[in-house]
Amino acid sequence: MQILHNISLKPFNTFGLEATAKHFVSVDTVAALQKVLSLPNYPEKFILGGGSNMLLTKNMNALVIHVNIKGISVVSEDENTVKIKANAGENWHDFVLWCLNNDYGGLENLSLIPGNVGTAPIQNIGAYGIELKDNFVSCEALEIATNKIKTFHKADCRFDYRNSVFKQEAKGQFIICSVTFQLTKNTHQLHTNYGAISDQLAETGIENPTIQDVSKAVIAIRQSKLPDPKEIGNSGSFFKNPVISIKAYNQLKSVFPDAPGYIISDLEVKVPAGWLIEKAGFKGKRFDTYGVHKKQALVLVNYGNAKGSDILKLAELIQLTVKRLFHIDIEAEVNIL
Ligand code: EPU
């Protein structure tokens, strides 16, 4: 374990933005993490996972702690279920593939989501009708104030759409070290009713899909509309889909009859932010080094050498324009630093 100084964070964020960490350390065990937390010289600390959900707008003076704790193990199993514990530094998609290689089902719809296992619960990652919470059992997290491990069971995490206790009351207080999931072993429950998945499976002529087929379908859909961060820097959905009242939705429909919406309760409708941004004229818009992805308006991209502050200005312009045109607030999903 070595504290490094003036380290570029470019390889550590999927937006590929340049920013420097004044101090940087990578830890690969919980013990090393505890040791770093007890260092007196660095009062300000920043926890870095897969770097897939952040927009770096400036250099960081804090000690950046890169959580690189690896390892996957079977905790327990019975006839049809298995509990798997994955350490925080495992790459999310590699972990999903590991599960699929072992024929463990439940995470296939979450294939190809960037980021690491340890940061996945913070925003309750979700895609194609499944959220992390659906297979989550518990996680172990180090409390920064006490340097002690605490176990969070599902109810403690208060999971919601792109939200959890780790983004609310417990924000900045814990470092997730491992996550335990419950998965299926042979009788898998497939979730293929999300439109794009059934279309994709039908297109490939698969009638009785396996969990591996569902994963392949999800990968194909994601690759067809989401940019690969290795090629074009991005952070997935930059904004959350706003939830508005039925009344506000009806008003929106009276002006824009084609406005899509998904009813989520008696009172509320979720509107795709991608539609609002596209309708506001931003889809595919390029400002030299950065812009809005041409196939999915919810994704802001760095074409190379963009500044985080430029992307932030674009995000603010989008928010203002959407507000002016539709009277709807859209909130950033990524952490702006
Ligand atoms: N739409 C447009 N224009 C666009 C994009 C979307 O009109 O440019 C409209 C269309 O009506 C489309 C609808 O939005 O039918 C929904 O689009 P899509 O299925 O692509 O999903 P999304 O709401 O844009 C959410 C997640 C994604 C996740 C997909 C699939 C959020 C913020 N985003 O996107 O998550 O992959 O559903 O489940 O909830 C991520 O978080 O990084 C991410 C990619």
Expressed in angstroms and rounded, the spacing between residue 136 Cα and the centre of ligand 1 is: 23
Residues facing residue 65 across a β-bridge: 25, 47
Enter the tokens of residue 279.
Answer: 């309708």
The Cα-based distances of 316 to 16, 60, 70, 238, 311 in angstroms read: 20, 22, 37, 11, 9
**pLDDT at residue number 193:** 85
The ranges of the chain annotated as CATH 3.30.465.10 are 72-225
Atom of ligand 1 nearest to the CA of 195: 19
Ligand 1 pocket test: which of 55, 237, 285, 322 has the largest number of ligand atoms within 8 Å of its C-beta?
237
**pLDDT at residue number 200:** 92
Query: Of 140, 162, 178, 222, which residue is the catalytic one?
Result: 162
Please give the Cα distance from 102 to 100 (Å, whole number).
Answer: 5
140 noted as active-site residue:
no
Expressed in angstroms and rounded, the spacing between residue 298 Cα and the centre of ligand 1 is: 7
Ligand 1 pocket by Cβ (under 6 Å):
127-128, 226, 236-237, 240-241, 260, 272, 274-275, 278, 283, 296-298, 333
Atom of ligand 1 nearest to the CA of 129: 38
Helix locations, 62-210, DSSP H: 92-101, 154-157, 195-203
Expressed in angstroms and rounded, the spacing between residue 223 Cα and the centre of ligand 1 is: 13
Is the distance from CB of 167 to CB of 205 less than 8 angstroms? no
Average pLDDT over the chain, rounded to an integer? 95
Please give the Cα distance from 257 to 248 (Å, whole number).
Answer: 13
Angle, alpha carbons 154-156-159 (nearest 5°):
65
Atom of ligand 1 nearest to the CA of 236: 42
Atom of ligand 1 nearest to the CA of 283: 8
Expressed in angstroms and rounded, the spacing between residue 272 Cα and the centre of ligand 1 is: 6
Expressed in angstroms and rounded, the spacing between residue 69 Cα and the centre of ligand 1 is: 31
In this structure, which residue's CA is closest to atom 43 in ligand 1?
237
Q: What percent of the chain has pLDDT over 90?
A: 93
What does the pLDDT look like over 18-45, one tens digit per residue?
999 999 999 999 999 999 999 988 988 9
Residues facing residue 66 across a β-bridge: 26, 48
Ligand 1 pocket test: which of 275, 285, 298, 300 has the largest number of ligand atoms within 8 Å of its C-beta?
298
Enter the tokens of residue 322.
Answer: 């959407």
What is the third-level CATH fold of 233-336? Answer: 3.90.78
Please give the Cα distance from 32 to 28 (Å, whole number).
Answer: 7
In this structure, which residue's CA is closest to atom 22 in ligand 1?
272
In this structure, which residue's CA is closest to atom 7 in ligand 1?
275
CATH of domain 72-225: 3.30.465.10
Expressed in angstroms and rounded, the spacing between residue 127 Cα and the centre of ligand 1 is: 9
Which residue, among 95, 108, 51, 59, has the nearest Cα to 236 in the 3D structure? 51
CATH of domain 4-67: 3.30.43.10
Atom of ligand 1 nearest to the CA of 123: 41
**pLDDT at residue number 196:** 87
Strands 60-67, 20-27: pairing is parallel
**pLDDT at residue number 251:** 95
- Start-to-end CA distance of the chain, whole Å, equals 25
Helix locations, 131-245, DSSP H: 154-157, 195-203, 211-225
In this structure, which residue's CA is closest to atom 21 in ligand 1?
272
Q: Is the pTM of this model over 0.85?
A: yes
**pLDDT at residue number 212:** 97
Query: Of 111, 178, 215, 237, which residue is the catalytic one?
Result: 237
The ranges of the chain annotated as CATH 3.30.43.10 are 4-67
222 noted as active-site residue:
no
Please give the Cα distance from 227 to 310 (Å, whole number).
Answer: 19
Residues (pLDDT < 50) of the chain are none
108 noted as active-site residue:
no
